[in-house]
Structure 1
């Protein structure tokens, strides 16, 4: 028995749509890792194509079929290839992907040297349209900040807190996530660690005290490093502090296209 293809029917309102597809799909993937070659993780994936005015709906199953063809191997070097395949599979003009995933690095405590895994939130966003491609890679990095104003006016100590730096880049050649993580961590008062012994805690506390930073300072420092990076052609940077003594967070943002 032949089943009617409802999606291919002509809609009542013949209006083309910019993006249709699947959203929030959890899928095991293999991403590129600078030290180990590849890293296995689980991504939340959004996949879209455009929909012409003559079609009632898109074929959702075909999005999953394309993902399955790549066997979970989706990363910066082949994501455009996936979009080309998706565009062909769904007979569309454009294809888009947004992929969010936890990325883990082994990180040593600053004094004891004890290694432990640290989690970062990474993402890839890409589009393909008529041989034009766009690829943005980014990462959200947890950091520690110590307030310069609090240090300046206080007889003892200064308020400090965790925060996060989010970096997004477009680039000429391949850039490792590890590079972006290093840029963010070295621009903060101190990195954050998943495992610290007492000598490590002492070091982190004193290091942060000697490197007070506003969110504005952090964003400017990250921006300076990205402006100097030979492969980066566009970037955005945002920093947010989860303020420990205020009833609000502190925030700063910059976006630049390099000439």
Structure 2
């Protein structure tokens, strides 16, 4: 006698509410991304989820892993050109397997390595970053909307402008006590970078766009951040690189708030053609050196909201 087990997932729940997201976290896979003649082998960590209607007890979790494996398998010999498209294809596969779902979301995280030249000695070296990507697909009354996102987390060198101003005033007082006239004091304090307390910064920029909008390259986002902070960091530093980085940082002191504003400004200049619906998440955290706490600043907005605010403020 054959007995067919009841599929408990389709049982009516004891408390009937729709759940926004149900899924699996931490699926690890290896994918290949092609950039022109270059290939990036990425060890990725995936979070995948769908929504659950009111009449169902649970999601078929195994279907999530099946969707991941099918998409990864299909990539063999067909390397992707960008990881956002990989996330979109995976989100589509989730919706196909979960016929009851109207929403699917994929989040991908991986380490990302770029070749860089040291700032002064021009030696080749590698710098490591964190890369995130994702996609969300919504179904509503026969219509489908797709959103994709790409983001980076970048280490940065930050210098406190408040402490630097205090040190400038202190040095000026000491030089005046030595008998130097005010004109010479001003020349010295302008020429010599004033001391301050430095911080390791954590800078994050995530961009979300419609599925058919232009591709936003992770490398461009890294470049935007490194142009927006006091100074970029490097794995390799010879003496001339170290002094150049310190001078650059102290010539460009910034509050944690300044870094967020500069990232927003440089993103607008770089990607001015992106539509108002583009969503930005900018986050800066400074690991304080002379305090026992850290500080942070962030901005979440659409490009439309940012442009409207700048227009209102005359920016």
If the length of structure 2 is used for normalisation, what is the TM-score? 0.76
Q: CA deviation at 1:4?
A: 4.2
Partner in structure 2 of residue 50 of structure 1: 51
Structure 2: 5+ residue runs without aligned partners? 172-193, 305-315
Give the drift of 1:32: 5.5
Query: Structure 1: how far apart are the matches of 2:95 and 2:260?
Result: 37
Question: 2:84–2:134: 8 Å Cα contact kept in structure 1?
Answer: no
Runs of 4+ residues deviating >6 angstroms: none
Specify the SS of the correspondent of 1:70: helix
Higher alpha-carbon deviation: 37-46 or 140-149: 37-46
User: Contact 2:24–2:47 at 8 Å: present in 1 too?
Assistant: yes
- Report the counterpart of residue 205 of structure 1 in structure 2: 246
- Tell me how far apart the structure 1 counterparts of residues 37 and 222 of structure 2 sit (CA, whole Å): 16
Structural mapping, 1:243-254, within 5 Å: 243-254=288-299
Encode CA deviations 1:116-163: one digit per residue, 9 max, x unaligned: 221111111321011011222111111001111222221362111210
Q: What CA deviation, in whole Å up to 9, does each residue of 1:58-83 have, x standing for no partner?
A: 11111111111122757112422221
Residue 8 of structure 1: how far off its partner (Å): 2.9
Equivalence for 2:62:
61
Aligned to 1:230: 272
| 2:207 paired residue number | 169
Higher strand share: 1
What's the TM-score, normalizing by structure 1? 0.91
Cα deviation for residue 10 of structure 1 reads 3.0
Q: Is the 8 A contact 2:87 2:107 kept in 1?
A: no
Of Structure 1 and Structure 2, the greater helix share is in: 2
Matches within 5 A, 1:61-140: 61-71=62-72, 75-91=83-99, 92-130=101-139, 131-140=144-153
Deviates more, 1:38-47 or 1:181-190: 38-47
Which deviations, in whole Å up to 9, do the C-alpha atoms of 1:193-244 show, x marking residues without a partner?
1111122111111111211111121111111122232244321211111111
SS of match in other structure, 1:76: helix
Match of residue 159 from structure 2: 146
Distance 1:11 1:158 in 2: 60
| C-alpha separation in 1, matches of 2:129 and 2:166 | 34
Stretches of structure 1 that go unaligned for 5 or more consecutive residues are none
- Alpha-carbon spacing, 1:32–1:18, altered in 2? closer, same or farther (3 Å): farther
Coordinate RMSD, CA, aligned:
2.0
- Assess if the C-alpha contact under 8 Å between 1:173 and 1:231 holds in 2: no
Q: Count matched residues.
A: 258
| Alignment deviations for residues 68-119 of structure 1 (CA, whole Å, 9 cap, x no partner) | 1122757112422221121011112111111111111111111222222211
Note if contact 1:11-1:56 (Cα within 8 Å) is conserved in structure 2: yes
Confirm or deny: 8 A CA contact 2:90 2:106 kept in the other structure: no
